[in-house]
Amino acid sequence: MDEFRDTAGEPVGADIDTWVRSFTRKESDSSELPPHHPNCLGCGPENPNGHFLSVRRDGDGVIAHHHFDQRHVGAPGIAHGGAVATVMDDLFGFLLYSVGELAVTRRLELDYLTPVLLDNPYILRAAVRSREGRKLHLTSTMEDAGGRSVITATALFIVVEVEHFLKSQKNPRT
Ligand SMILES: CCCCCCCCCC(=O)SCCNC(=O)CCNC(=O)[C@H](O)C(C)(C)COP(=O)(O)OP(=O)(O)OC[C@H]1O[C@@H](n2cnc3c(N)ncnc32)[C@H](O)[C@@H]1OP(=O)(O)O
């Protein structure tokens, strides 16, 4: 059975069949959605360098309460823009549990409206705006506790088959 392997060839979690099945459509409820992978940089519980993003369904979209910490610092007291982009990208990835298909980021665009402060609580929301064939047009926001929008983001995800991931396993450095 195919397993995910790191660049040293060691298994890193569930086999691919199990992983693919985890993205099939689930009943709509408000329960927490599973991480993409135990070591996912955005949401994996076993990645000590990750963001530990925790995401729930919210109507047709998803919602997360999140804060950045000192590991994500850019300018003093402010989250690095790349760290923020990582989290928004990962948040989009949780919409796939509703889409029920595999997809990957082709384009990611963020507007940084105000600085994202470390150790400050934020509310993140994402939704599917539209779909054209394999193209998923996604939209998201990050708001502070006062409801002020600090980040808006859009993404284009492209639906792929499991072979997309199998190919990368065979050539992990390409
Ligand atoms: C299930 C996985 C969950 C994982 C966890 C989530 C983590 C968060 C998400 C990620 O981080 S994913 C990792 C980062 N992304 C990648 O590694 C993807 C790398 N890119 C690729 O592998 C390929 O470019 C890709 C599979 C996305 C697309 O290649 P294809 O050859 O299959 O598609 P193609 O280039 O023909 O483009 C598909 C369609 O999109 C259109 N398109 C491409 N770029 C576009 C663009 N910028 N704007 C508008 N349309 C665009 C393109 O014209 C075309 O339109 P049509 O279908 O109508 O012909």
DSSP-assigned states of every residue in 92-152: HHTTHHHHTS-EEEEEEEEEE-S--BTT--EEEEEEEEEEETTEEEEEEEEEETTS-EEEE
Tally of domains within the chain: 1
- The pLDDT tens digits for 58-92 are 999 999 999 999 999 999 999 999 999 999 999 99
* pLDDT given for residue 148 in this prediction: 98
55 is in which domain, residue-wise? 3-170
Model confidence at 22, in pLDDT bands (50, 70, 90)? confident
Pocket of ligand 1, beta carbon within 6 A: 23, 36, 89-90, 93, 96, 102, 104-107, 133-135, 156, 158, 160, 164
What's the pLDDT band for 174 if we cut at 50, 70, 90? very low
Give the atom of ligand 1 at the shortest distance from the alpha carbon of 36. Answer: 5
Torsion of CA 164, 64, 138, 47, to 10 degrees: -20
Q: Please check the confidence at residue 7 and state whether its pLDDT lies above 60.
A: no
Nearest CA to ligand 1 atom 27: 106
- Say which CATH number the domain at 129 has: 3.10.129.10
DSSP state for residue 50 in the 8-state scheme: S
Ramachandran area for residue 16 (φ above 0: left; ψ -120 to 50: alpha; else beta): alpha
pLDDT, tens digit (0-9, with 9 covering 90-100), for 144-157: 999 999 999 999 99
